[in-house]
Amino acid sequence: MALEKLFIISAIGVRLLENVFAVPVEELFDTPGIVAEDIVDDGGSILLPLGTQLSWLEKRAGQIIDRLKQSGIKAVLVRREKGLTTEELRELLAQAKLPVRTIGKKLAGGVVDAIGKVYRSIASGQGREELLSPLLAYGKTLSREIGRNPSILFSLLKVRERDEYTFIHSLNVSLVAGSLAGSIRPGNDPFLEQIVTAALLHDLGKAHIAPAILNKPERLTEEEFDQIRRHPEAGERLARQAGIIEPAILQAIRWHHEKWEGTGYPDRLRAEVIPLPARITAVADVFDALTAERAYKGAMPPREALSLIIEASGVHFDPAVSGHLLRSMGLFPPGTIVELSDDSLAVVVSLTRGDLMRPTVLVQLDGRGKPLQDIRLIDLRRSPHFIRKALSHLGKAAV
């Protein structure tokens, strides 16, 4: 094999072509990439086929390395996937037209009124039955709405009174959190309902905080900020006093301000120790807060909010949950015309669950802009090519 003659001088392999490296067998699994040629043994059996994602085989790395060595193979051609930089992601998001749907004004108004009643009755120490039944009914209705379409839903309501913001925000957080729950555990209706209801109640502890502090455009004093920081614990206490025992609801209330790196409040929990309902609510909470219009700030476009959340993945947010937000938004929605890494042009035909960056595409024009004779459907997860950029959307102006 020609590669045996290569003198390997680098710890990460020798660069042969754009993004293609000859990687020593021992270092094969140290960096992600795609096998760029069929690796065969002397008997002609394929040991590693072209297009194999090395990350798929990580668990069997030791075994594969041994087998390659036994067959006398010293290096493998690997195409390194070009990871998107933050700048490139920003650019892609700037081009993307994100599908955001809304729910009916009547339903939204009903939910907001119910949340208002619940917050007020809980704050005044009233019982559970009165509290939960209308809210659970709305939880079911909203879950059904969310279940119909995985894209992010919003209410159309605008804040009319200052103290209404928390209720409208709670509704929006429940819609976004519900979309995320549906994407994280597809088909699990009880989980979706739990998350929707938990998110409706996540800021319950704010029931005791004066609207003047909640809506203050200026910088908060230390004392005011302390009050705000106490709302997760206060909320959990109020919920327990009202007889709420559902773990998902209590977890979302207490831990929705925890951060993935362990710098949040109130308990400085980190990573997966933070329960999933709280990690989902945290992403939905910030996404809605950024995209909401307040007296003191304009609404940020969804794609910018998404970009900020992706940048804060692994720091503030669970990267898996933010990935689901990206997917729910459909970074390359079906119909997007994309340029692939071999210069060919393709149309996105379906999204790939678990890998938004690599949908299935229909290649239309080759690298020189000539229409192809045969239609080629490519699942980019199983191809050495990747999307370089989105160009436009079928039937729409350039996005």
Which stretches of the chain bind Fe ion, using CB under 5 A? 203
Tokens standing for 145? 């709405």
* β-strand pairing of 75-79 with 34-35: antiparallel
* β-strand pairing of 152-155 with 100-103: parallel
Q: Considering beta carbons, is residue 81 or 203 the nearer one to Fe ion?
A: 203
Q: How far is the CB of 257 from Fe ion (least distance, A)?
A: 6
Q: How far is the CB of 159 from Fe ion (least distance, A)?
A: 17
CA distance 16 to 22: 7
Q: Considering beta carbons, is residue 203 or 236 the nearer one to Fe ion?
A: 203
Q: Is 53 in contact with 59 (CB distance < 8 Å)?
A: no
> Which of 213, 215, 211, 114 has the alpha carbon at shortest distance from 155?
114
Q: How far is the CB of 39 from Fe ion (least distance, A)?
A: 53
Q: Considering beta carbons, is residue 174 or 341 the nearer one to Fe ion?
A: 174
Strands (E), 213-350: 336-340, 345-350
Give the residue at shortest CB distance from Fe ion: 203
Q: Considering beta carbons, is residue 81 or 236 the nearer one to Fe ion?
A: 236
Q: Which three-class secondary structure state does DSSP give residue 235? A: helix
Q: Considering beta carbons, is residue 170 or 336 the nearer one to Fe ion?
A: 170
Cα–Cα distance list, 163 to 159, 210, 266, 267, 300 (Å): 9, 9, 24, 28, 21
Q: How far is the CB of 286 from Fe ion (least distance, A)?
A: 10
Q: How far is the CB of 391 from Fe ion (least distance, A)?
A: 40
Q: Considering beta carbons, is residue 105 or 229 the nearer one to Fe ion?
A: 229
Q: How far is the CB of 125 from Fe ion (least distance, A)?
A: 21
